[in-house]
Structure 1
């Protein structure tokens, strides 16, 4: 349809243009014609100065109409009204020296395309060209809509005779037409459902909203849509239809959806039966080996080594064959079904396949498993299968699982080889009287063994006092003072030196050593905090992390009370940090635990806030005093609008709930300045200090080391202009032109430098080129829009996609669009106007 319309309106041309100029001053008309010709336009320009002459001139269509605003015997607005009535699609441009701002706005509202002042007549050619291009595009769109309407009419004529189910919907989804095939398939009569909402008739309430969004929320460019769908008939049966949906829009701007569907219910039922017979075990109902191989090949294709390995586990339960022989085939079938059900219930989160590998052998295929987590997964599976089984008519049955494991791509990159290697590992496990699990690779077994050794050494390390605490300062952004420390545990390993917590905390959680470790950290941190107080140092808070296992320990409140009593530390100097995920696992239980802890007088905080899935309804009930913004959001705070938005939201949320906010992982001055400007209360990170020994912290407190706030406060507002362009000569020229206006001018040749300046200074206006090497100007201004919404955004470029710029303007990312080479006076006027706009927001 668009091509048909385009053939009637060939590509845009400036040849043979006819312009009518309503003007009583001959010299002004000649000046306009000279300016148009100088710019490359050579129109036939007809000057008229009376209403009668204007009406006569309109007998021959014009491409553009120019008009002075004030005429001795004629009025510009009257000429505009005549044009709108007779030729509403012809661009009308005022060219005047007397039109004021209010009259100009009135003229634009009544349909004028633009107005050009006679003392800035150099702008007229570009205005005429834009008007001609837009008029050309509108003509094509109008013809396209006419063709679409004609085709819609033709479609309606043949609609009712179609053999497939046919439904026609209006823009709100109400049924306009319903053909005979649809009546036959669904049992609904057309007259009974016409005017009713389509998704309310043929779909249950749980599915109706999704269907509504499919039609009303889909991008129009994605049509026609093809999909398979299930409809409800009048008597409640489910029919499967293969559907196709197209969309029509006529010149009345009414959307019409045309849906056609083929009823494939019986064919699909037959196909599903054949598929299940060939791809699933008939006893357990699990996928068979063919499906498993296909899943493995798919997993191999999408495997990301950084995300982990693909683990293939074979499981055989010793004694299953003997029990089947002793108790009969039916008992064997019941046991097989029970094992399959238990495996399905155990299935870990993430992509996992449970399959019937062979008779009495089951398979588990798990994707994205970290090497260090494989042993924990296998041990959990082992415990699940060791639990006794119950089948009708029999006492509890105990089966001993034997497990063989192979990994992709650690062991092999072939599906068949992986199957073979896991079979070898299973065979080795079957032959061992003591080992229930066996990995194929010797090196991996050695690694697992090493982890077991390290876990045992950790238990001994707690007893031998090989652990040590380091402390990272937490600093107030109100006065720059140290207000507290977070206690972070280290392990002085006798052979490997000082180990960070990432190397042994996961082991502690797996082996339940975390309870003893957490108690040690709590006692040591409280003793140290009290020691600083006894030394006469400024009082500070000490923050201690609680693990999930600690938090759920029933004696936690008693333990905290004993530790405070032993250390003689006032409870209000202790802060316990809970991860967001732990606190939301069972919110009601978490609230009860928190209330007990708060009764002791300790402060509670939510650590790593934003990384979990908090329910705000529960969060407002948590008796916490502080939220900690996770460092993953602080890392790219300066140049990522999403991270800045998250930080702003957390700060705003905390303020509304009267909570303090502390940001972790602050490493740069720019991060610090933005957080300070957004109202963050405290920071913690390498910018101020890494975690230190107790002795170093003592020195910090004794010397009253603080954060110099003068370095992070934004300077008082000045008219600050940021110019972004990768061409040095352009930056110099712009500084030379705009410098005489007294602006404080910053320049950047890279986008990264621009964000650096924006984070450190109160920028009122940003002027950028489009063709930047590291990011298009439209994308830069879109980010600035979200991160610094009051900053006025202007694009100055010689090369830009009209579509991209138009979209950016429509979305509000660009305030003005200027073209290189620029007119100095126009540029200065636009920048001046932009600063007035920015300063108006400051006064609001």
Structure 2
């Protein structure tokens, strides 16, 4: 390697002559330390060499000067370089300059040099001198070689690599990138990022570039477009690179298609049976666990083939596998698409049926018949039977392992009954069920170890749509058994008496949580807690609840208790006493599960109840029979007449909520709005103001609405055109079912229906509408006159008018305007009635509160009178005179010794003390102690001010010993 920092000197074999040659040496001497330079004569003999060139080969001037240039040590390392030099010398003698890369031998190394040979002409015009120079370009060569290697590596890389500029244009791309997109490199470099990336468009690219510049790098997944149009999932890694003041993105794109396919294959192997393609045991447990969390009822069927081993042994495993695939297909074709069919192993299959539409035993019987049909496998006719065991959630358990275990137990019983049998799990007596006994022990530990938690189900006001309360529901998370349903442990707790301490735990934690929400200034809501029958029998129930409310600072109006009818019947009078005491505190009382127990009106009238909760079994849907709706509306009307609110529980659809709101139900709770949630989730709901869509509750702006029903679409269209200018909201339906659905979502004022329609006639539809929405005005427009049914409907009030087809446009408009006017009047009357009822309810509530306050004040007065009488008796027993003077100096108290001493009577109380007491005692009233002689005895008078609620002074006379009588 050359010594780049060596100083340049011009070396000559003889003293330096003056003239042009000397000037040339001066130029050569001033070249940089990395430049080798010299001077050749016209014959190619070296006459001069600078110090950098000499030091590079470690030679003295005498060793190289005077030699032909190609024979010097610089050129001994590469024959090719010598030949190229000779050609350059020949060209230089002809006046031609040369420049090329050569390999020179420098201190044992061969360096790459950029060599040039320039001819220099003399005065005679001939070539007089040749000037050789060489510059070390080894680093440049190494960079070029590294660049070639890098380029080769980039081209050979499996991942697609891109260079992207700030404008989104592709600056470079490797072969893998071209293969990925199906483009040539020339085509690709004409594109921009938004042409390929499906998640980027031309307007969003500047923001994407800005974000990448801020982060410096990023990684994400996206899809890119192939040349033929399909999309490819890719993983993208981006690194920002800055070079020579320019910033660009180095993008590495990994094709995810193989990885996704492998993941799907792994997932398939992990969760699905390879033979049948059905979910395997792991997938079965996951799905069943999730189903139990979301479905009210779930059926689990375990199906096992009878004598399947004889097929494997007799016909071989290949035939056995084909039989299993055929059985799997038959089972899947028999059950619903929402049901899960899994193969648990061997010849055993499991069917999970959430919310069965038909009884599970009926489905099982169909499966028996389906499996029993002959099947032909590779020429063999095969006959099979099976046994099926059934378990139901939540009756037989609410955990996956429990249900499967009990379905297995039912299957074993089916086998004992013979082949081709179905058996439903019947359970075991409590005393003989080791699981129940273990659960009782675990329940005691749960209370001790704080394994319980409370979830809260929102209760929503159907007038405003907002959350007004929550019901506290107990949950038990066992450390090993997992979530245990209340249906399993509450009966055990009631039987063993553990329900009392558990109930106390629920009361305390629910009140503490409600108080925390109150302190957080969340929107006010009422916390409702279910009381057990044993709690209601405790004599100090109201006192303990009052103590919890006082200790936490919870407003009693934000707390409520719920009791069931059956709890009250056993000890009605005591229950009523407790509930009245709770209402006196301001606690709200709800009667739960109304309609499932005695539902006695005489009991209901006597109960101190604020809210009646309609049981979920009585909450109808929009398509429910009319008689069910009548029962619900009757309960609502009855409760309102008794000045009680109504809350419907178990609301699971929008139709149910709309129907309840239309029938003036006050509140609701159920899965449709929200399942039971944690305290944090409820707090989030309150902060975000979650509520029911006001449109569902009929609180949208009132635009009069007309529902047109006709099974001929052209009739509905013609009526729309005719009535469009009236300004009414026009709804159209081509059948009764569609009309009922529209009525559930819209507040319909007038219904105009055809008579003859498939499925349900117009009269039947309007009868149903009268039951569901009695405020509507209902008209029939028909070309057929069925006199009896229409007459009956008119007499019943189901139909307002009957209009005939074809109609007269103006007459039809007139009839409809009259109907709307009638509806407007009815709405106004109803609003007035509601306002009167609301005012009456408020007045009744105010009266109730006033009576409560008066009762409390009466009790307080009685206590104060009793206290005064006790104090009077005590002071009368004191053997010294005592006087009480209030802060206005009125005489308000005199004990018996004082009356006897001064001959006073009770009629003097309430008069000025200065006028009633002897002159000698008046100075003592001013607080000055005195020694007095009264009635022949000496007395020491003491006057002390009173503090607290009693204000004034107490005057006491103490007799002195030895005084004369």
TM-score range, shorter chain: 0.3 to 0.5
TM-score for both structures, normalised by structure 2? 0.39
